[in-house]
Amino acid sequence: MTLYQKMGEMILLKDTILYHTSDQIYKKNKTKPMLFCTFHPSEWEGVDNEFVSFIKLKRDIRLLFMIDDFKGRRIFSSCNKLANKPQISNLQKQNYSFLFSIIPKLKEEKFDGWFSTIENKAFTEVALLNQNDIFEVVKTEILNKKWRNSNNLNNNIIRKNWGTHYPIYTNVILNLPKSYQNKIENYLYNSEHSKTPNDYVFEIILKNSVINYF
């Protein structure tokens, strides 16, 4: 069974903008196998990250849907299954030895990277193969928190305001195995019944994307 048959894919369209946050101005490094991005910088701003780069896709791309399961709005990666190493943590996917073992599998099926979770929490990321034909850096600027995260203080609930400076591009197509359908529907149910719905990018993506099950 292929990776596509087991996990499915996310398709992002040409001209989609993603965001890469860093502690220094981004400079392309050919030795790095992948570039890690988010759909919005609030998903991975980091303590020391001072800069954000706008990453523009040069063409339509295919991402392996590297998600295993959900618990509430928490998302679990399937990178350990992909690596065939049950003990591997989600953070180890940035380890070069892990990446260089996975990249040939992605290229074999013409994937341009993957979509997965950050630290098996509710945040998500896009990992792009570091290839010139996939993306370009439009600009890099000082990271400004032009958004407001939700909070619940003494039952006074303030929902997240994403702002407009870092648009979330939701021109997404999901082609997923039928086994994901109930999981996705449960995730959306938990989102709608949360005190702070639309707190995470994946909720917004699912509500705006085209989803096909096979």
Q: What are the sequence ranges of the domains in the chain? A: 3-213
Q: What angle do CA 92, 60, 44 make, to 5 degrees?
A: 35
Residue 94, H or E segment: none
With the C-alpha atoms ordered 86, 180, 174, 105, is the resulting torsion angle positive or negative?
positive
Contact 175, 181 (CB under 8 A): no
> How high is the pLDDT of residue 28?
84
Q: What is the pLDDT of residues 86-128, one digit of tens each?
A: 554 544 556 777 888 889 999 999 999 999 999 899 999 999 9
- What is the pTM for the complete model shown? 0.92
Q: What is the pLDDT of residues 147-173, one digit of tens each?
A: 998 887 777 889 999 999 999 999 999
CB count within 10 Å of CB 23 equals 11
Give the integer Cα–Cα distance in Å for 117 and 111: 17
> How high is the pLDDT of residue 112?
98
Q: What is the pLDDT of residues 173-209, one digit of tens each?
A: 999 999 999 999 999 999 999 989 999 999 999 999 9
* % of the chain exceeding 70 in pLDDT: 94
Residue 52, H or E segment: strand 51-57
> How high is the pLDDT of residue 21?
94
Q: What is the pLDDT of residues 4-21, one digit of tens each?
A: 999 999 999 999 999 999
Give the integer Cα–Cα distance in Å for 116 and 186: 18
